[in-house]
């Protein structure tokens, strides 16, 4: 039996931090791991900016609630869920993902979490485990599932490689160049065509 593990941002919804930067007008929130390679330095910088601007978790959630899923994402999720089980695996935080998951009909999500204080300010974050995407595929394989994994970027590669079937979705060109063996899809119809071979 096949099961699907999919990344969230870039597959079903746009990149969250870039949109938060756009909607709040805070340019520094645009920085990603491409600009600041140490994730902890990046996240602590983001938390410091939110604190300086006096933005609570609720403020950020209200901004994120304005982000819309990618065109066709809802239909594509419904299509998959009629055929198999879907687990969304993301390096985002549950509190940020929630306004988006609500719009997606709340498929199961495995991700990280933020630490919130009594002022509703973000004061830290907890990563659930190292290499959580690959570990999720392994956990599902321990349940005798065969896994089809989909993602768009470098943090998805270990998941795509651990899965029985790994598919890149709308990846940047450098990812395609670095991993030429992985099949690539640029729209949901192309994904459906690949998935239909297995489901």
User: 86-93 and 184-185: which strand pairing?
Assistant: unpaired
Give me the catalytic one of 9, 91, 152, 156: 9
> Pattern of binders to a copy of itself over 15-54, x per CB under 8 A?
----------------------------------------
Task: List beta partners, residue 87.
Answer: 5, 108
For a copy of itself, the closer of residues 1 and 25 by Cβ is 1
Buried b (16+ CB within 10 A) or exposed e, 36-54: eeeeeebbeebbebbeeee
Angle at 45 between CA 89 and CA 158, to 5 degrees: 25
Rounded Cα gap, residues 170 and 175, in angstroms:
10
184 binds a copy of itself (CB under 8 A): no
SS3 62: helix
Q: Which span (17-25, 55-63, 83-91, 188-196) binds a copy of itself, by CB under 8 A?
A: 83-91
Pick out residues in 104-143 that bind a copy of itself (CB under 8 A).
105-110, 113, 128-129, 132, 135-136, 138-140, 142-143
187 is catalytic: no
Q: How far is the CB of 135 from a copy of itself (least distance, A)?
A: 6
Rounded Cα gap, residues 196 and 141, in angstroms:
20
Q: How far is the CB of 9 from a copy of itself (least distance, A)?
A: 18
187 binds a copy of itself (CB under 8 A): no
Q: Which of 106, 87, 94, 101 is nearest to 5 (CA)?
A: 87
166 binds a copy of itself (CB under 8 A): no
9 is catalytic: yes
Binding site for a copy of itself (CB under 8 A): 1, 81-82, 85-87, 94, 105-110, 113, 128-129, 132, 135-136, 138-140, 142-145
């Amino acid at each position: 039996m096949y099961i699907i593990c999919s990344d969230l941002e870039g597959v079903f919804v746009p990149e969250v931090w870039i949109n938060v930067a756009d909607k709040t007008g805070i340019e520094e929130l645009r920085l990603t791991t491409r600009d600041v390679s140490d994730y902890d330095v990046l996240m602590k910088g983001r938390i410091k900016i939110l604190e300086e601007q006096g933005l609570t978790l609720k403020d950020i959630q209200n901004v994120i609630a304005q982000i819309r899923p990618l065109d066709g994402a809802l239909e594509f999720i419904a299509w998959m869920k009629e055929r198999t089980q879907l687990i969304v695996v993301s390096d985002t935080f549950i509190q940020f993902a929630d306004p988006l998951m609500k719009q997606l009909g709340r498929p199961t999500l495995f991700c990280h979490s933020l630490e919130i204080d009594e002022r509703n300010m973000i004061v830290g974050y907890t990563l659930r485990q190292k290499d959580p995407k690959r570990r999720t595929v392994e956990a599902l394989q321990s349940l005798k599932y065969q896994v089809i994994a989909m993602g768009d970027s470098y943090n998805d590669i270990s998941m795509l490689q651990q899965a029985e079937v790994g598919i890149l979705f709308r990846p940047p060109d450098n990812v395609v160049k670095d991993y030429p063996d992985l099949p690539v899809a640029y729209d949901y119809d192309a994904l459906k065509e690949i998935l239909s071979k297995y489901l």
